[in-house]
Amino acid sequence: MASTEDFKGRWALVTGASSGIGAALARELASHGAKLILTARRRDRLEALAQELAAKGTEVRVVVADLNDPAAPQQLYGATAGAGLAVEILVNNAGLGSMARFAPAPSSRK
C-alpha cells in the first residue's frame, strides 16, 4: 500500500481541480509534498488555488482545458510530458453529477 511519503516531490495531475473533490484532493496531495498540475475550465478558480498552494511552498502549474474538446488531451500532454514534467499521480476527477430518471436522461450535458 502506498504511503503518503510516496507523494513527496512527485508531479500529480488533478483534473477538475477548480472545485469540490478535485480541489480538496489537490490540497491534500500538496500537504503531502506533491507538485501539482491543476486543470479545469475556470481559470480564476485554478489560479486562486494555485496561489494558495504556492504560498505554502508547493510547485504548481495551471492548465486551462475543456476536456470535452478533442484538442484537450494534446494540450495536457504538451503542458506535462511535452514540457518535461513526468506525471506520476493522476486524479482523473473532472465530471459532473446528474440526478434524473435513467431512461429520459440525456447521455451528455454541457
Ligand X SMILES: NC(=O)c1ccc[n+]([C@@H]2O[C@H](COP(=O)([O-])OP(=O)(O)OC[C@H]3O[C@@H](n4cnc5c(N)ncnc54)[C@H](OP(=O)(O)O)[C@@H]3O)[C@@H](O)[C@H]2O)c1
The site for ligand X (CB under 6 A) is made up of 16-22, 40-42, 45, 66-68, 93-97
- CB of 34 or CB of 49, closer to ligand X: 49
Rounded least distance, CB 5 to ligand X, Å: 26
- CB of 4 or CB of 68, closer to ligand X: 68
Neighbours of 31 (CB within 10 A): 13
Rg (CA), the chain: 15
- CB of 34 or CB of 38, closer to ligand X: 38
Closest CA to 66 of 58, 57, 75: 75
Rounded least distance, CB 33 to ligand X, Å: 23
Pairing of β 87-92 and β 60-64? unpaired
Q: Using alpha carbons, list the distances in angstroms from residue 74 to 23, 51, 70.
A: 23, 25, 8
Rounded least distance, CB 47 to ligand X, Å: 11
